[in-house]
Amino acid sequence: MGDTTVSSLEGRQATPRPVAEGKAGNALLRRMRTPRHPRLWFEVLLIAVSYWTYSLIRNAVPEQRHEALRNADWIWRVEHDLGLAVEASVNRAVNSVGWLIVAMNYYYATLHFVVTLSVLVWLYRCHPGRYAAARLALFATTVVALVGYYLYPLAPPRLMTGSTFVDTVMLHQTWGSMASGDLKHMSNQYAAMPSMHIGWSLWCGLTVFALARAPWARVLGVLYPVATLVVIVATANHFWLDAVGGLLCVLFGFLVARLWYGALPYALPQRVPETRGAPVLRMKT
């Protein structure tokens, strides 16, 4: 009978533990979903690792050349049926102006990374309260794009067989492009859908337009994704339907941020109190 009493007491004492653990878990979840002042070392490390991982996974997707070319032919037929197959005309027209197409090649090869990183730095410095949510939208956009690369390999117009597209990258030997020279063997050439040049430029443009105070900066926020669309078409690196895929990825990214933080990044406070250490979670007894 004594043993029974002890067991009963132990059972009653053990009962509150899952409740306390549950409260601690809820508190941790709330803390993770509450905007905080970003830490520089963590953000630099996170961005570096994330970009490296993105490049690794994107380039590890099997280069299914035949399927990618077949998909490109299908998209080209669809655009013809819609009466919107303008890429070849734009490509040849811009290629006739040497300095312009070379500038666009370098734009395509560099600005998608430079501008995106610059907007992240600006957010970190001027809008720390919105930084984490905006960064989450960007990361979610990129992750869903990787799924698209895996499920739908697509050749860019410049690599289509028997087409009238001009491969401006190879013709003008753009230095530093991942699609020219020996570097083309380090990059998956058949990951054109969705276009992350459009995805990232839309993220940058929307962020700058929503948060910048200077009118000229807001105008640049609108013009940047528009200019990027012209560039990806003129250089024959993407169909315009690839841009639609990039747009859908951005919408998904902002939806994820909205669900996680309860508001779009732009609706969150501009600044949050800077904390020196993580708060201690105390369980009530």
Please check whether residue 28 lies inside any domain of the structure.
no
Please check whether residue 35 lies inside any domain of the structure.
no
pLDDT digits (tens, 9 = 90+) for 234-264: 999 999 999 999 999 999 999 999 999 989 9
Residue 230 phi, psi dihedral angles, 5° rounding = -60, -40
* pLDDT confidence tier of residue 51, bands split at 50, 70 and 90: confident
Give CA torsion, residues 119, 125, 131, 136, to 10 deg.
50
User: Alpha-carbon torsion 62, 65, 66, 70, what sign?
Assistant: positive
Residue % of the chain over a pLDDT of 90: 54
Q: CA-based angle 44:48:49, to the nearest 5?
A: 115
Q: Could you give the C-alpha distances from 53 to 11, 15, 178, in angstroms and in order?
A: 48, 44, 17
Identify the weakest region by mean pLDDT among 151-155, 178-182, 202-206, 267-271. Answer: 178-182
Please check whether residue 100 lies inside any domain of the structure.
yes
Q: Which domain holds residue 108?
A: 78-267
Please check whether residue 73 lies inside any domain of the structure.
no
Please check whether residue 143 lies inside any domain of the structure.
yes
Residue 65 reports pLDDT greater than 90: no
pLDDT digits (tens, 9 = 90+) for 134-181: 999 999 999 999 999 989 999 999 999 877 899 988 888 766 555 544
Residue 185 reports pLDDT greater than 70: no
Please tell me the predicted confidence (pLDDT) of residue 285.
Answer: 33
DSSP per-residue codes, 226-244: HHHHHHHHHTTS--HHHHH
pTM more than 0.85 = no
pLDDT digits (tens, 9 = 90+) for 77-119: 999 999 999 999 999 999 999 999 999 999 998 999 999 999 9
Length of the chain measured in residues: 285
Please tell me the predicted confidence (pLDDT) of residue 186.
Answer: 52
* pLDDT confidence tier of residue 38, bands split at 50, 70 and 90: confident
Structural domain count of the chain: 1
What's the whole-number mean pLDDT along residues 219-237? Answer: 96
* pLDDT confidence tier of residue 5, bands split at 50, 70 and 90: very low
Please check whether residue 260 lies inside any domain of the structure.
yes
Please check whether residue 120 lies inside any domain of the structure.
yes
pLDDT digits (tens, 9 = 90+) for 168-182: 888 887 665 555 444
Residue 276 reports pLDDT greater than 70: no
Residue 8 reports pLDDT greater than 50: no
Please check whether residue 104 lies inside any domain of the structure.
yes
Distance CA 151, CA 61 (A): 9
Distance CA 154, CA 152 (A): 6
Q: Which amino acid is at 50?
A: S
User: Six-digit token pair at 52?
Assistant: 């490296």
Please tell me the predicted confidence (pLDDT) of residue 52.
Answer: 78
User: Six-digit token pair at 197?
Assistant: 């040049």
Residue 9 phi, psi dihedral angles, 5° rounding = -65, -40
User: Six-digit token pair at 120?
Assistant: 């992240």
Please tell me the predicted confidence (pLDDT) of residue 282.
Answer: 36
Please tell me the predicted confidence (pLDDT) of residue 173.
Answer: 73
* pLDDT confidence tier of residue 29, bands split at 50, 70 and 90: low
Distance CA 142, CA 174 (A): 25
Instruction: State the DSSP code for 194.
Output: S
